[in-house]
A = this chain, B = another copy of it.
Amino acid sequence: MTHFADRLAAAVRRCGNPVMVGLDPRWEQLPACLRADLDPRDLAAAAHAYGAFCRDVIDVVAPLVAVVKPQAAFFEQLGPPGMAALADVIAYASGAGLLVVVDGKRNDIGTTAAAYAEAYLGPGRLSVWGGDALTVSPYLGADSLEPFVELAVQRAAGIFVLVKTSNPGGGLFQDLVTTDGAALYQRVAAFVQQAAQRTAGSCGYGAVGAVVGATYPEQLAALRQAMPNTWFLVPGYGAQGAGARDVRDAFDSTGLGAVVNNSRGIIFAYQRREYQERYHEAQWQLAVEAATRVMIEQLRSETPAGKLGKEITDEE
């Protein structure tokens, strides 16, 4: 199988945009038709609704974007039936030709980290969960990250290590300045860049990527310069407040190097004022499509992603 970074580059080029759709099913926000008369305490029923919702989103976005990111937390919230739904959603997305980054922010000490890596890294039957990539937390250090790096390379999968997260309080520890003058997140970035460099595919990017929030555009720009071999997974677009201009510097000059995630702003677009006027709640899939197309257009017109492959045709 082709190297993860090369598969991601090819998929982003083929779609002509770097949009990543976050699959964050939240019960209170599901369209009423999917919740129907269900009791959310009936975990199997709620998990079934999550699965149906995510499959519908996937059907809408698969022709438009390269990659989706299911958020494990929301599935875990439904217990074992939720985890079964997560597995189904990953398989369904893969089957629809999408790359799947499982957002689990996992990690542990060496031998346990290896178990997480075994579990999640590798699409299709290469791993139990079938992820193309997994988000990973760096706090436990090098020997916790190495098992992920090693298995990612073996299985043509990827990881995205948390470097500079998008939340307002992310800086409490990440921005602490160390005695050599670099902030903690810059030290993590240096480690990740080294791992990316030594695992680089033919596109120049490595199997090891970084999570870098759109909500800190200056640091994002500086990290792009400091991490030339590192794919960025950029959260924070949309509901968290960042726009296309904030992610302009996440890309290299060819428009590669970053995928920009949007979860609520796309999957629950039917609740946004601009779409409420155009679509009934029962037409929520149309709002998903419209919001995806708008984000694609914004990124293509205001960032180097405009240089990627084809324009999408506007079929609306």
Q: Please report A residues at the B interface, Cβ cutoff 8 Å.
A: 24, 26, 43, 71, 73-74, 76-80, 82-84, 86-87, 103, 105-110, 112-113, 115-116, 118-120, 128-129, 137-144, 162, 165-174, 176-179, 184, 187-188, 191, 235, 240
Given A105-B108, A138-B139, A140-B162, also A116-B73 (CB < 8 A): yes
Given A87-B79, A107-B137, A110-B167, also A176-B173 (CB < 8 A): no
* A164 vs B165: C-alpha distance when bound (angstroms): 21
Number of this chain's copies in the complex: 2
* A258 vs B137: C-alpha distance when bound (angstroms): 25
Task: Establish whether residues A167 and B144, one from each chain, have CB atoms under 8 Å apart when the complex forms.
Answer: yes
Task: Establish whether residues A169 and B141, one from each chain, have CB atoms under 8 Å apart when the complex forms.
Answer: yes
| Partner of A78 from B128, B168, B176 at Cβ < 8 Å | B128
In the complex, the chain B residue whose C-beta lies closest to that of A172 is B141
In the complex, the chain B residue whose C-beta lies closest to that of A107 is B105
Instruction: Please name all residues of chain B whose beta carbon is closer than 8 Å to the beta carbon of A184 when the two chains form the complex.
Output: 173, 176, 178, 184
Given A176-B187, A184-B173, also A109-B166 (CB < 8 A): yes
Instruction: Please name all residues of chain B whose beta carbon is closer than 8 Å to the beta carbon of A112 when the two chains form the complex.
Output: 24, 71, 73-74
Starting from the known contacts A76-B119, A142-B172, 8 additional A-B residue pairs (CB-CB under 8 Å) come to: A76-B116, A109-B240, A137-B137, A144-B167, A173-B184, A173-B188, A178-B179, A179-B179
Given A139-B139, A173-B139, A184-B173, also A73-B108 (CB < 8 A): yes
Instruction: Please name all residues of chain B whose beta carbon is closer than 8 Å to the beta carbon of A144 when the two chains form the complex.
Output: 165, 167, 169-170
Task: Establish whether residues B178 and A162, one from each chain, have CB atoms under 8 Å apart when the complex forms.
Answer: no
